[in-house]
Structure formats: C-alpha cells, structure tokens
Amino acid sequence: MIEHLTVTRGAYFYGRKKRLSNVAIDTLFRTLRSNATAPSRNLFRANRVVLRHSKYSAICFSFERSPAFLDSEAKLRDCRKIKFTILTPCDILRA
C-alpha cells in the first residue's frame, strides 16, 4: 500500500470591473476543454444559474495527463477532473 501521498487543491479568486457576457463564458469553457488532453463529456455544466443573491456558471469534466510521480517512459495516463466555477453577484448587491 502506498502511504504518505500528498493531494493538492487550489482555489483562485479574481475581480472584474466589466461583466462577463454569455459568449465570454461559453468561449472560456470551450477553451478549457480544448486545452485538455482527451477530455471526457461534461459531467455537468451550468450557465448563469441564480442562487440567492448571486449567479454562477460552472463546468466539470475529466481529462488525462501523465502522473507527476512517474517518468514519462512509463507511458501511463492519470485521469483527473477539473471543476471551474464563475460566481457573480446579482445587481441588488452592487452599490
């Protein structure tokens, strides 16, 4: 059994002054998928869903990559999942 493995996770937060259009969000999600190696079908995708005082857009799919802990000579692929969420406040929060 393998012990003492480390799993990393990351969350990044950015602010924008201009609103993202539906086209911009769609383009971003398509670019994410096109940059992935062997992407699967979407596990889920949501566009501008209203949740309380915010809206969110999200996408989740799996893709393949070389395992970080093996040499490329092993010729093995690791299946990963990417979850990407865009959260925007609704107009009532803007003052």
In a domain, 28, yes or no: yes
pLDDT in tens, 33-92: 898 888 888 988 998 888 888 888 999 999 888 777 777 777 778 888 888 888 887 764
pLDDT in tens, 13-35: 777 778 888 898 999 999 988 98
In a domain, 5, yes or no: no
In a domain, 36, yes or no: yes
Please check whether residue 32 is in contact with residue 25, taking contact to mean a CB–CB distance below 8 angstroms: no
Distance CA 45, CA 39 (A): 14
Number of domains in the chain: 1
In a domain, 86, yes or no: yes
| Domain span including residue 61 | 22-93
Please tell me the pTM assigned to this model.
0.67
Distance CA 23, CA 61 (A): 20
